[in-house]
């Protein structure tokens, strides 16, 4: 067993730049709390096997036939965002969300999806000016996406999604529910009234099928590698290089997204001639959305980086984020708690349990306790107090800690959060709750979602946390729903998990 002072625990710490530009759309200012959730599963309907070409998979199993409705026929369709007169038939013309975005993720840590392939984020209907709607139909906030697709025989589609439409936190089903509820319900041509002989939730199949079809024609990894842009821990690229590589196959530019100068998202834009279900998708440029990557020094990190224990004497330039999320040997003996933020070593934990840069690291003692261990410093026992790491003589019952991939962990999670990187002699608390780490009234850009945190924090009763830098999870009584972020909205009691 490795001893505590040999291992030199690394606390993985997420710090989000409150001044960086947002990549995703803002959280909805509307709250939808349906009194009941749909429980009826769709009946079967006839549908031909989806032909996607020799390089692509058939999304419906060849032996499956299902019967029922079909999308409205559109004999004289108009191209969305290019019409000169108002279009009354929103079943054949996508409005107001006429600019369709196929969005993709590159998650290097924790790694998500194949090492040589980007993954699906979603299909978003923007207005033609870059604004957007979201959560457009509270009655269709479905929470059984897998069951819906299975009922239509879409086993091949589900199998593909299980590989390429991944949630970084591991909750694929909730991620799919989120993408459908936030974006799919705002696509006008997917309204149930646009189907003849409509069967319940058949539009869900069309949404996920079309999203995957578009994604299969947008092999971002191949686009980039063809231009010599490959994942690397040492090589950096310019925004112009990446844009040129992604523009070449389609003839129009894209939006690229970065977190801390690391490439992790691409948005491809389309206008549609006709409906989403049967229309022709025509490539177009961005609708006003801006890339969030710097002009130079962009990293494109490989997935599945090796785990490397961090010694305090090792320079920060050689420190890498550990990739393992498996439990590792408990700490024992005495040692330091070093913090790793933004992929490099940045200070350590001092005796009160707070984060400090530029001073002397405190010595902590680890003592085995059950399957984990306790920690003490010169200030006293350590525990999680009000969601933050704290060490004090007033703590009579020490907290039980564990390790994940060589990192200090609490409750099976090695992520800690702070409102900013400490500087100028200031210390920062390390929180296990993302929202608790934020100063009230700040705007925080989190991976692919913009959260406006203000007076609403005083309304939240229960726990709310960020998982792996992508989605915020909240617990909501009675139904899965979307936590409102407007101060005047009522916030229900918290009970079961839901995703914003």
- What digits encode the pLDDT tens for the residues 416-471? 877 777 876 777 788 775 545 554 443 333 322 333 333 232 222 233 333 333 33
Catalytic, 183? Answer: yes
- Please give the C-alpha separations between residue 154 and each of 33, 60, 157, 277, in angstroms, as whole numbers: 29, 5, 5, 16
DSSP string, 135-158: ---GGG--S-HHHHHHHTT-HHHH
- As a whole number of angstroms, the distance between CA 400 and CA 338 comes to 19
- Residue from 14, 20, 1 nearest 445 by CA: 20
- As a whole number of angstroms, the distance between CA 58 and CA 10 comes to 45
The predicted pLDDT at position 110 comes to 82
Greatest Cα pair distance, the chain, in angstroms, is 77
Q: Within its chain, how far is the Cα of 469 from the centroid?
A: 7
Q: φ, ψ for residue 468 (rounded to 5)?
A: 55, 30
- As a whole number of angstroms, the distance between CA 351 and CA 187 comes to 54
* Percentage with pLDDT > 90 across the chain: 39
The predicted pLDDT at position 57 comes to 33
Confidence tier at 266 by pLDDT (50, 70, 90): very high
Structure tokens at 396: 């009579």
- What digits encode the pLDDT tens for the residues 186-238? 999 999 999 988 999 999 999 999 999 999 999 999 999 999 999 999 999 99
- What digits encode the pLDDT tens for the residues 327-354? 456 787 888 888 877 666 788 888 999 8
Options 72, 177, 179, 202, the catalytic residue: 179
- Please give the C-alpha separations between residue 4 and each of 31, 70, 91, 329, 430, in angstroms, as whole numbers: 47, 63, 63, 9, 20
Within 13 Å and on the Cβ side, how many CA atoms surround 323?
A: 12
Ranges 52-56, 264-268, 402-406, most confident: 264-268
The predicted pLDDT at position 345 comes to 75
Q: φ, ψ for residue 339 (rounded to 5)?
A: -100, 135
Of residues 337 and 2, more confidently modeled: 337
Catalytic, 490? Answer: no
User: Is the separation of the CB atoms in 63 and 259 below 8 Å?
Assistant: no
Taking 60 as the threshold, does the pLDDT of residue 261 lie above it? yes
The predicted pLDDT at position 497 comes to 32
Of residues 168 and 312, more confidently modeled: 168
Could you tell me which residues are beta bridge partners of residue 89?
A: none
The predicted pLDDT at position 340 comes to 77
Ranges 70-74, 241-245, 256-260, 408-412, most confident: 241-245
Average pLDDT taken over every residue of the chain: 71
* Percentage with pLDDT > 70 across the chain: 66
Task: For tokens 């609403």, name the residue.
Answer: 456
Taking 50 as the threshold, does the pLDDT of residue 387 lie above it? yes
Let me know the angle formed at the C-alpha of 456 by 453 and 459, rounded to the nearest 5 degrees: 145
- As a whole number of angstroms, the distance between CA 134 and CA 103 comes to 16
Taking 90 as the threshold, does the pLDDT of residue 104 lie above it? yes
- Residue from 454, 443, 456, 498 nearest 476 by CA: 498
The predicted pLDDT at position 113 comes to 92
Task: For tokens 């989000």, name the residue.
Answer: 16
Taking 60 as the threshold, does the pLDDT of residue 38 lie above it? no
What is the average pLDDT across 74-102?
A: 86
The predicted pLDDT at position 100 comes to 93
Q: What's the predicted TM-score (pTM) here? A: 0.53
**Pairing state of beta strands 344-349 and 464-467?**
unpaired
The predicted pLDDT at position 25 comes to 34
The predicted pLDDT at position 343 comes to 62
User: Is the separation of the CB atoms in 445 and 439 below 8 Å?
Assistant: no
- What digits encode the pLDDT tens for the residues 268-306? 999 999 999 999 999 999 987 788 899 999 999 999 754
User: CA torsion sign, 455 to 460 to 466 to 472?
Assistant: negative
The predicted pLDDT at position 374 comes to 92
User: CA torsion sign, 162 to 165 to 166 to 172?
Assistant: negative
What is the average pLDDT across 401-429?
A: 78
Taking 70 as the threshold, does the pLDDT of residue 10 lie above it? no
The predicted pLDDT at position 487 comes to 31
Lowest mean pLDDT among 11-15, 30-34, 143-147, 400-404: 30-34
Instruction: Tell me the Cα Rg of the chain.
Output: 24
Of residues 78 and 491, more confidently modeled: 78
Options 121, 178, 445, 482, the catalytic residue: 121
Instruction: Give me the domains of the chain, ranges plus CATH numbers.
Output: 73-299 (3.90.730.10), 333-409 (no CATH), 426-486 (3.10.129.10)
User: Is the separation of the CB atoms in 179 and 105 below 8 Å?
Assistant: no
Taking 50 as the threshold, does the pLDDT of residue 66 lie above it? no
Q: φ, ψ for residue 245 (rounded to 5)?
A: -65, -35
The predicted pLDDT at position 328 comes to 56
Options 25, 178, 183, 445, the catalytic residue: 183
- What digits encode the pLDDT tens for the residues 467-499? 333 333 333 222 222 333 333 333 333 333 333
Taking 80 as the threshold, does the pLDDT of residue 84 lie above it? no
Catalytic, 127? Answer: no
């Amino acid at each position: 067993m490795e001893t505590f002072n040999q291992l030199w625990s690394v606390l993985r710490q997420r710090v989000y730049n409150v001044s960086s530009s947002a990549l995703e759309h803002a959280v909805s200012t509307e709250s939808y709390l349906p009194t009941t959730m749909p429980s009826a599963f769709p009946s079967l309907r006839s549908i031909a096997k989806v032909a996607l070409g020799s390089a692509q998979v058939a999304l419906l199993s060849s032996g499956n036939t299902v019967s029922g409705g079909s999308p409205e026929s559109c004999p004289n369709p108009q191209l969305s965002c290019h019409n000169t007169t108002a279009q009354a038939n929103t079943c054949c013309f996508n409005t107001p969300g006429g600019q369709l975005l196929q969005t993709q993720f590159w998650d290097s840590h924790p790694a998500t999806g194949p090492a040589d392939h980007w993954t699906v984020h979603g299909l978003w209907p923007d207005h033609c000016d870059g604004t957007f709607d979201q959560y457009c139909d509270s009655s269709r906030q479905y929470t059984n996406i897998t069951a819906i697709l299975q009922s239509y025989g879409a086993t091949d589609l589900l199998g593909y999604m299980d590989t390429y439409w991944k949630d970084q936190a591991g909750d694929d089903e909730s991620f799919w529910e989120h993408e459908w509820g936030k974006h799919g319900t705002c696509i006008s041509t997917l309204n149930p009234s646009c189907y003849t002989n409509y069967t319940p939730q058949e539009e869900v199949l069309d949404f996920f099928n079309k999203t995957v079809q578009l994604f299969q024609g947008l092999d971002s990894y191949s686009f980039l590698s063809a231009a010599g842009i490959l994942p690397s821990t040492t090589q950096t690229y310019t925004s112009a290089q990446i844009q040129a590589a992604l523009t070449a196959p389609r003839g129009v530019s894209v939006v690229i997204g970065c977190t801390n100068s690391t490439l992790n998202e691409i948005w491809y834009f389309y206008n549609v001639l006709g409906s989403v279900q049967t229309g022709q998708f025509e490539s177009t440029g961005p609708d006003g959305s801006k890339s969030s990557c710097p002009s130079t020094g962009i990293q494109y990190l490989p997935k599945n980086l090796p785990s490397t224990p961090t010694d305090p004497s090792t320079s920060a330039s050689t420190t890498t984020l550990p990739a393992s999320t498996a439990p590792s040997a408990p700490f024992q003996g005495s040692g330091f708690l070093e913090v790793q933020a933004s992929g490099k070593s940045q200070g350590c934990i001092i005796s009160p349990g707070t984060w400090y840069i530029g001073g002397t690291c405190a010595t902590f003692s680890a003592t085995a306790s059950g399957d984990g261990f306790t920690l003490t410093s010169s200030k006293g026992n350590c525990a999680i107090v009000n969601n933050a790491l704290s060490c004090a003589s007033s703590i009579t019952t020490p907290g039980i800690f564990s390790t994940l991939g060589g990192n200090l962990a609490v409750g099976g999670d090695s992520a800690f959060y702070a409102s900013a990187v400490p500087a100028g002699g200031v210390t920062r608390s390390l929180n296990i709750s993302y929202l608790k780490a934020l100063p009230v009234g700040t705007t925080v850009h989190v991976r692919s979602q913009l959260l406006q945190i203000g007076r609403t924090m005083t309304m939240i009763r229960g726990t709310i946390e960020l998982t792996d830098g992508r989605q915020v999870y909240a617990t909501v009584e009675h139904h899965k729903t979307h936590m409102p972020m407007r101060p005047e909205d009522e916030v229900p009691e918290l009970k079961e998990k839901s995703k914003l």
